[in-house]
Structure 1
Amino acid sequence: MEWIKLLPETVILDNEGLSLEDVVHIVKNDYQLKLSENVKEKVVLARKAIEKAVESGEKIYGITTGFGALRDIVIPEKDATKLQTNLIRSHCVGVGEPARDDFVKAMMVLRVTALGQGYSGCQLKTLENLIQMINKNVLPIIPIKGSVGASGDLAQLSHMVLAMIGEGENNLKFEGKIYNAKEGMQKAGVPITKLSYKEGLALNNGSQYSAGIACIVLHEASNLIKNAEIAAALSLEALKAASQQFDDRIHQARFHPGQIAVAKNLRSYTKGSVFVKKHESLFTCEVENCGYYYDRKMGDASQNVLPNTEFINLPDDWTCPNCGGSKDNFEKQWPKIQDDYSIRCTPQVLGPVRETLEHCWKTISREINAATDNPLIFITKKDPLEFDIYSGGNFHGEPIAMVMDYLSIAMAEVGNISERRCAKLIDDKRNDGLSLFLIPRSELGLNSGFMMPQYTAAALVSENKVLAAPASVDSIPTSDEAEDHVSMSPIAARKTAEILENLQYIIAIEMMLAVQAIDLRCDIQKIPHEKALGKDTLKAYKVIRESVSKLIHDRIIYPDINKIADLIKSGKIIVDITT
């Protein structure tokens, strides 16, 4: 979608709406939001239509009638304004912990985009008050639970409006402090909103809480899938994977663009590696607990053996660089042709995740610019003003619920395959010559090494499997059966956010284990990391090692996991690789 930036920190809402990237910039980077003149014109015109409709005495849902199951009760014109305030007060029924600030701010931004479409009929000053709150980071405190996703996210949006009208206790956050709404709004210099015809309904009737979470979730998922590929590439290095599994011809033969892209990324990240390649026959030292292998292409720099020297041509007094064993201790191993599925099928698993993410991104990109309240106003003629006001169901959160459920399944799979690589990395029967639990063999027993992180990864993966159960297949009727099918979209979005939080730690654990395994591999092979790893995997390795040191003796491990998780969340590893 087209968007205009006046300054590096300003985004204008125009007729084209906002992109998902715009929303993230406003929420995460405090870009300022402004309305274009043509959007203001549409809002003012729709407001005139509402006022004209009220003057006509026409029966219009939510404007001159009650709400939900009370839709047939006509409200006198003198009570039309009170009706809107009562709506907000009665619908503030959210419970649970406060929603994350970025979820709340995204919800507020999306409510502006919805009202800016000019189908809702709110006053321009009401919309501008909400924009002031966004731009000044005056954030209502919104309970995380209580919405079924139709008629939209009534509870959460009502809590937002409650703060706008200056009501409620300890329900507004500004500059790190919590205020009663009226005091906080005054402190921030934002006018208290006085609701008029339809405005309560225009503000609280929509799926923006669900869609706001979805925007943040998609942004985080995009970052995580990139980090998951980097983690996989590090594991490929550590386990000296066979590169032909990622040959472009294999993946082109199946046609899936996500799979093709992931395989290409893995080839790119490991390009130049002496570990990830099309392997030839190797000669492996059979001395117990050694793990060294002689690779003709690598030679042995520690004993001045040049690359491409055949094993049979090594000097008779040549010894294993790692354990000192003689040539007689070596046995020929046939070339590795393929790895286990968790390595070999990484493109086939992460590829569909990329395609799922793309599909979800497109759906939410449409949703964030949608008019989702009810009824909607359609201007048919400007002068004299003519219009239609129709009731519909755009508030229903089903599009969001379905794609969030889809994404939750996909991202849970990222964790599934990552944990399997973690288990392989620490298993001395499956990690190609490395020690059990990735600690020097001389230290095992007294030290547990990396035994326990896989437990954590397994626990998180199991939790994600439960969270990946779809929310959108459930529906419990509300409002005396008038709202007899609901979407559960906020539940779908929230549980996806939980899956991503767990996944961040799973990927961090894989990275932690992979760089430890790389250290052991390089130590055994007596080769510097700079000569062993691919250009990009070397960059990733260095970023991680700047924060977390090699494990030799047991130490407290959770700070290491948290440090790598922070690197993942910040995007630093990706930035260092791509710049």
Structure 2
Amino acid sequence: MWNMKVFLNGKLTIKDVINGARHNAEIAIAPECLEKIKISRAVVENIVKSKKVVYGITTGFGKFADVSISENDCKQLQKNLILSHACGVGDPFPIEVVRAMMMLRINALSIGNSGISQETLDMLVTLYNKNIIPLVPGKGSLGASGDLAPLAHMVLPMFGVGEVYYKGKRMAAADALKAEGLEPIELTAKEGLALINGTQAMNSLAVLSVYDAENLIKTGDIVACMTIEALRGVTDAYDPRIHEIRNQRGQIYAAANLRKILSGSKRTTKQGELRVQDSYTLRCIPQVHGTVKDSFGYIKGIVSNEINAVTDNPLIFPDTAESFSGGNFHGQYLSMAMDYMAISMSTLAGISERRTERLVNPQLSNGLPAFLVKNGGLNSGFMIPQYVAAALVSENKVLSHPAGVDSITSSANQEDFVSMGMTAARKARQIIENVTNILAIELLTACQAIDFGKEELSPATAAVYKLVREKVEFIENDKYMAPEIEACAELIRAGKLTEVVEKITGELLL
């Protein structure tokens, strides 16, 4: 599945991007794109020669759109654009984010509506394939006029400026180019603008978040079932007739997943056997997890469309040799999608933490020992893991404040409504990591609780229990627990829970 060459042609999938970002697949521009790239470039060159006034080609940028630039200054204009815009701050993005960013930008440019030269595009492909990865600070984009600062940092190494990661080291870009026998290039008319005027930085984060969220949403159903069994949950609440008359697709799917995962369990109960009904955190799992599934469908659709979008300005239409200024660089679609992602995944985490609280609280855990430890008092057991989950849930609430409604003006009020899409994407990415750890804590806690019972688990949850117990033993007495939480988190990140369950149940519904 992974590491085959990916051809860029405006038809990429999320899995293609993951293959490049995380599995170092090489890329190449699809042959069918080359002619359109060539024609589009010729349109730009004709604009320069004819001295036609076209934004960003023969004019300055932003508020300087009315300043004419001579043909002799076109190259300097493009270099100045990159140098002046490469002023991001903060910790650098992880390498996988920058690889995704490069891949997405090359893909957008390969569609042939940007006017970039084949030579310049080839240089970016070469850097990618030789794993010379630009150092890109994580903060500084307004998410309109594109991700200008991050993408400018991405471009710097093409002409030997800035820093890169190369062969496991952070070094000057000029040194990495020299090591590979590469010569810096010189940008020509429109090329600097074509390289940085797009949504690919925020979308790189969005693609990674969507891919990871898909696994977490399925994992949420699985971990919830572990807790249901640990608490001898009442499964009548998952009867398909209840969910069909609600008429909400995600809810129907969530309930179906619970029934499949719990099938064959001797640990669940029927209403009236031990109690009439469960608390909301068990009884309403389909209703809550269902909303997450439905919102995810919308988010994935937006992000998938943006992967193959042409998002710079101005745009070149080679069929008619025309150029138009527009606003495809505006990141509002991604901003709203990532805000929705933040809220949705925070919801998944919130109900998980409440289930963890029920497992450790003797007033709520249906007979389990306080904090799931035998010698309570001397031992604190699982008291503090629940604190950690609660802290992360609270952080998620802060991070879920929508970024997309918080516009601020820039460029002397020429750019007077911006998306803050990068902020939304960065927040969503942090929430994804928090959710991973919150689910890991519930998983670890549920396995501990399960060990206080004797009845058989379902085949699916038994497989998950076995997977966890291969990494983490039952905790008899207090010990250093951070490694245990991380071990469970790593199982979740790697998709191992989903993998073992789907071998038994078939594909879980999303």
**Normalised by the size of structure 2, how large is the TM-score?**
0.96
Is 2:8 aligned against 1:13? Answer: yes
Q: Counterpart of 1:214 in 2: which secondary structure?
A: helix
The one-character-per-residue Cα deviations of 1:472-509 (angstroms, maximum 9, x if unpaired) are: 00111001111111000000000001111111110000
Give the 3 Å change call, closer, same or farther, for CA 337–545 of structure 1 in structure 2: same
Q: Is the 8 A contact 1:129 1:191 kept in 2?
A: no
Q: 225, 240, 259: which one pairs with 1:233?
A: 225
Q: Which amino acid aligns with 1:226?
A: K
Is 2:328 aligned against 1:394? Answer: yes
Q: Counterpart of 1:97 in 2: which secondary structure?
A: strand
1:312 maps to which residue? none
Q: How far apart, in 2, do the equivalents of 1:111 and 1:188 lie?
A: 23
Q: Which amino acid aligns with 2:305?
A: R
Q: Is the 8 A contact 1:132 1:190 kept in 2?
A: no
Q: How far apart, in 2, do the equivalents of 1:280 and 1:150 lie?
A: 57
Q: How far apart, in 2, do the equivalents of 1:510 and 1:70 lie?
A: 55
The one-character-per-residue Cα deviations of 1:326-350 (angstroms, maximum 9, x if unpaired) are: xxxxxxxxx4332100001111111
The one-character-per-residue Cα deviations of 1:16-39 (angstroms, maximum 9, x if unpaired) are: 521111111111112221112111
Matches within 5 A, 1:64-463: 64-168=58-162, 171-278=163-270, 281=273, 335-380=274-319, 386-440=320-374, 443-463=375-395
Question: C-alpha displacement at 1:571, in angstroms?
Answer: 1.1
Question: C-alpha displacement at 1:559, in angstroms?
Answer: 1.1
Q: Which amino acid aligns with 2:82?
A: I
Q: How far apart, in 2, do the equivalents of 1:28 and 1:267 lie?
A: 34
Q: 451, 454, 474: which one pairs with 1:550?
A: 474
Question: C-alpha displacement at 1:278, in angstroms?
Answer: 2.2
Give the 3 Å change call, closer, same or farther, for CA 190–352 of structure 1 in structure 2: farther
Question: C-alpha displacement at 1:189, in angstroms?
Answer: 4.4
Q: Which amino acid aligns with 1:548?
A: V
Query: CA RMSD of the aligned region, Å?
Result: 1.3
Q: How far apart, in 2, do the equivalents of 1:193 and 1:150 lie?
A: 27
Q: Is the 8 A contact 1:426 1:451 kept in 2?
A: yes
- Could you tell me which runs of 5 or more consecutive residues in structure 1 were left unpaired when the two chains were aligned: 282-334, 381-385
Question: C-alpha displacement at 1:190, in angstroms?
Answer: 4.4
**Normalised by the size of structure 1, how large is the TM-score?**
0.85
Q: Is the 8 A contact 1:24 1:216 kept in 2?
A: yes
Question: C-alpha displacement at 1:185, in angstroms?
Answer: 2.0
Q: Counterpart of 1:197 in 2: which secondary structure?
A: coil
Q: Is the 8 A contact 1:174 1:188 kept in 2?
A: no
1:329 maps to which residue? none
Is 2:39 aligned against 1:45? Answer: yes
Runs of 4+ off more than 3 Å:
188-191
Q: 435, 448, 452: which one pairs with 1:520?
A: 452
Q: Which amino acid aligns with 2:487?
A: K
Q: Across the two proteins, how many residue pairs are aligned to each other?
A: 503
Q: Which moved more, 1:258-267 or 1:394-403?
A: 258-267
Q: Counterpart of 2:470 in 1: which secondary structure?
A: helix
Is 2:398 aligned against 1:466? Answer: yes
Q: 482, 487, 495: which one pairs with 2:419?
A: 487
Q: How far apart, in 1, do the equivalents of 2:312 and 2:381 lie?
A: 56
Q: Counterpart of 1:223 in 2: which secondary structure?
A: helix
Q: How far apart, in 2, do the equivalents of 1:189 and 1:181 lie?
A: 12
Q: How far apart, in 1, do the equivalents of 2:418 and 2:116 lie?
A: 26
- Could you tell me which runs of 5 or more consecutive residues in structure 2 were left unpaired when the two chains were aligned: 504-510
Q: Counterpart of 1:547 in 2: which secondary structure?
A: coil
Question: C-alpha displacement at 1:279, in angstroms?
Answer: 5.2
Q: Which amino acid aligns with 1:364?
A: V
Question: C-alpha displacement at 1:192, in angstroms?
Answer: 2.3
The one-character-per-residue Cα deviations of 1:184-227 (angstroms, maximum 9, x if unpaired) are: 12223444232011000000111110111100011111111111
Q: How far apart, in 2, do the equivalents of 1:92 and 1:368 lie?
A: 23
Q: Which amino acid aligns with 1:194?
A: E
Q: Which amino acid aligns with 1:12?
A: F
Q: How far apart, in 1, do the equivalents of 2:251 and 2:450 lie?
A: 26
1:291 maps to which residue? none
Percent of matched pairs sharing the same residue: 44
Question: C-alpha displacement at 1:360, in angstroms?
Answer: 0.6
Q: How far apart, in 2, do the equivalents of 1:503 and 1:56 lie?
A: 56
Q: Is the 8 A contact 1:94 1:145 kept in 2?
A: yes
